[in-house]
Amino acid sequence: MTGKRRLSVSVDAELLAAAEAAVERGEAPTLSAYVSVGLRNQLENDQRLRAGREFIREYEAAHGEITEEEINRAMRSLQSRAIHVRPSSPASKTGASRASESRSRR
């Protein structure tokens, strides 16, 4: 990094409030540091997206356009190998059924 430059920007009020709260919680030393991390993260994300688009462009140039069926097959493969970290029935259903049982006992 070649130093710091001053910047004046307008941001959504709720974003500013959330960032200031993060600084107050000690998640960043200053608002400027917090904003710098956010800018860096966005730049890195943009770079990954550009690289992904370029990879797909090169792949399709060499092998032809990726078809909807190929995408669906890849998605099914990924889903079949996924590790599920939550129970198959959401906790909210369990809570809802308990509430229903409680009402029926009254």
Residues 54 and 104: their CA atoms lie apart, in Å, by: 59
Is residue 67 in a domain? yes
Whether the model clears a pTM of 0.85, i.e. scores above it, the answer is no
Residues 7 and 38: their CA atoms lie apart, in Å, by: 14
Is residue 61 in a domain? yes
Instruction: For residue 106, name the pLDDT band (cuts at 50, 70, 90).
Output: very low
Is residue 105 in a domain? no
The pLDDT tens digits for 16-49 are: 999 999 999 999 999 999 999 999 999 999 999 9
Cβ atoms of 67 and 74 within 8 Å: the answer is: no
Residues 19 and 34: their CA atoms lie apart, in Å, by: 7
- Residue given tokens 């917090």 in the structure block: 34
Name the least confident of 18-22, 51-55, 75-79, 100-104: 100-104
Is residue 96 in a domain? no
Is residue 17 in a domain? yes
